[in-house]
Amino acid sequence: MGMFYLALVHFPVLNRRGETIASAITSIDLHDLGRLARTYEIPCCYVVTPLLDQQNLAKRLMKHWIEGPATNIHPNRAEALKKLKVVDTIQDAIADITATEGKKPQCWATSARKQNKEKTLTFQRASYIIRASENSILLLLGTAWGLAEEAINVCDKIVEPIRANSSFNHLSVRCAAAIIVDRLLGENKTC
């Protein structure tokens, strides 16, 4: 089985008007994605933003929990936040995995919107590929109103949207990430 990686993408993503933007980093997303990566033994969750102020914010928060006084208060939080790595672009995350693994990973997207059917994987099929493949996989998670088309276009596959039993479909990225990762990597296979 290849390694499975996450990327919390802040650029390129969409705003509510469908324009491509760079979104702001939130501390709760960093904490929760780090904890998710640690819980499911994901080697790294990349935080993708080209904005230096946002990179500095993420690094300062991570340093506080990993090296600062909070390390002694919450050592588990430090362990989780060590799973995060800040990079400028999606391509930088791919290059880092390629350097680590010696082979370029497959890149998969997530989206709440319906996408190209030929590229879309069901959760069941995606989980099977992850477990059976020797290739590493990088799963992109879009912030704001989701990944911009230019991010989706670089991906090999798209994981099907999460569907609930209501017409409301706007989960936070950390909630969607937890559901998706559990469906793909969890032991309780119900899909």
Q: Cα–Cα distances in Å, from 60 out to 46, 56, 64, 67, 168?
A: 16, 6, 6, 10, 35
**Residue 86 pairs with which residues in a beta bridge?**
47
Cβ(184)–Cβ(178) below 8 Å:
no
Query: How does pLDDT run across 70-108, given as a tens digit for each residue?
Result: 888 888 899 999 999 999 999 999 999 999 999 999 999
Domain parsing of the chain, residue ranges: 4-185
DSSP letter (8 states) at residue 161: P
**pLDDT per residue as tens digits for the range 128-183:** 999 999 999 999 999 999 999 999 999 999 999 998 888 887 889 999 999 999 99
pTM value is 0.94
Cβ partners under 8 Å of residue 20, min gap 6:
12, 13, 14, 148, 150
- Mean pLDDT on 3-11: 98
Which CATH number does 4-185 carry? 3.40.1280.10
- CB distance 142 to 12 below 8 Å: no
